[in-house]
Amino acid sequence: MNKLERDLINNMQGGFPICAHPFQVLAERLGYDEQTVINGVKRLIADGYVGRFGPLYNTERLGGAVTLAAIAVPPDRFDEVAEQVNACEEVAHNYAREDVLNMWFVILAEDEEALQDVIKRIENTTGLGVLSFPKEQEYFLELHLEVPEK
C-alpha cells in the first residue's frame, strides 16, 4: 500500500465531505489533486482494500425496516443458496459462519410488510427456513482503523 492509499483510508473513515466536489475537498485536505484522489479510491476498491464505498443510511429513520437474518444451509448447497440470497436487491451483505446457522445476512426493506415478503421469497427460493433477528437496541460504535507506515 502506498502513501496515497494509506492517506485515503486513514482520512475517509468517520466522514466524507458532503458537497458538490467532495473529492476536491479531500484532495485539498490531504495535499493531492482531485483526480489523484479519485484514481486512488478506484485503486483501493479494485485492489480489495475497500469492499464498499458509499453512504450508510439509517433505514428505520427513513421509514424502512431492517433485520439480521440467518439460515442453516447444507454445506453442499452453500454457494447455490448464497447466489439465491444475494440475488435479492434487499440483501445488503452476506456472511459465511462456521456454525449450524452458517449464512448470515442483512435485509433492508421499505417497511415491515416488504421485509416479511423478502423473507418468504428467500424461503420459497431456497427451500430453507430464514430466522429473523430484528434489532432490539441500537448502539453506536465508531471504529477507526489507522493504517501505519511500514
In which band, very low, low, confident or very high, does the pLDDT at 147 lie, cut at 50, 70 and 90? confident
As a whole number, mean pLDDT of residues 69-93 equals 95
Q: What is the distance of C-alpha 105 from the center of its chain?
A: 10
Average pLDDT score over the chain: 91
* pLDDT given for residue 9 in this prediction: 92
Q: Where are the domains of the chain?
A: 3-46, 65-133
CA distance 66 to 45: 26
CA distance 116 to 105: 14
In the numeric block, which cell numbers belong to residue 78? 452453500
3-state secondary structure of 85: helix
CA distance 110 to 89: 12
Q: Is the pLDDT of residue 7 over 90?
A: yes
CATH number of 65-133: 3.30.70.3460
pTM of the entire predicted model: 0.69
In which band, very low, low, confident or very high, does the pLDDT at 16 lie, cut at 50, 70 and 90? confident
